[in-house]
Amino acid sequence: MLLAKTYDPEKNDPTGWYMSEKLDGVRCYWNGSAMYTRNGHLFYPPDFWKEQLPKNVCLDGELWSGRDDFQKIVSIVRRQDKNDEWKDIVYMVFDAPKLKLPFKKRIARLQELIPKDRKHIKLLEHTVCKDH
């Protein structure tokens, strides 16, 4: 999983980089059949929730339900009982790290794989940075 690094405006020109909103949720990796924390611990989403995720691609993203909702998200996703409270959680996908493609093409592929009408999985919008 990719991890954020400190941005140094003296050393880095972000022009042309892809950027997205920083979500305050719980980082999650989907391997095509199960969901894991960045440390490799399992999440236990209910079947109705997992049915919306693609089975043929690994995804990196954030489990999220809205701004200023971090404690609620953690209390739901850390449980090990496939609870129905997952109905309020959305998997905000920002990459498909195992696709052997440049980032721009991975995002295009994700746009094909994740229909916009899905309730529990969304592709996080990326914007090309114009300058500092």
Q: Domains, the chain, ranges and CATH?
A: 24-128 (3.30.470.30)
Question: Cα separation of 68 and 116, whole Å?
Answer: 24
Chain CA centroid to CA 126, Å: 12
pLDDT tens-place string over residues 98-114: 999 999 999 999 999 99
On whether the CB atoms of residues 98 and 128 are closer than 8 A, the answer is no
Report the catalytic residues: 22
d(CA 82, CA 114) in angstroms, rounded, equals: 23
95 within 8 A of 104, measured Cβ to Cβ: no
pLDDT in tens, 55-112: 989 999 999 998 988 999 999 998 888 888 999 999 999 999 999 999 999 999 999 9
Distance CA 81, CA 45 (A): 8
pLDDT at 15 over 70: yes
Tell me the per-residue pLDDT of 29-62, one tens digit each, with 9 for 90 and over: 999 999 999 899 999 999 999 999 999 899 999 9
77 and 87 in contact (C-beta within 8 Å)?
Answer: no
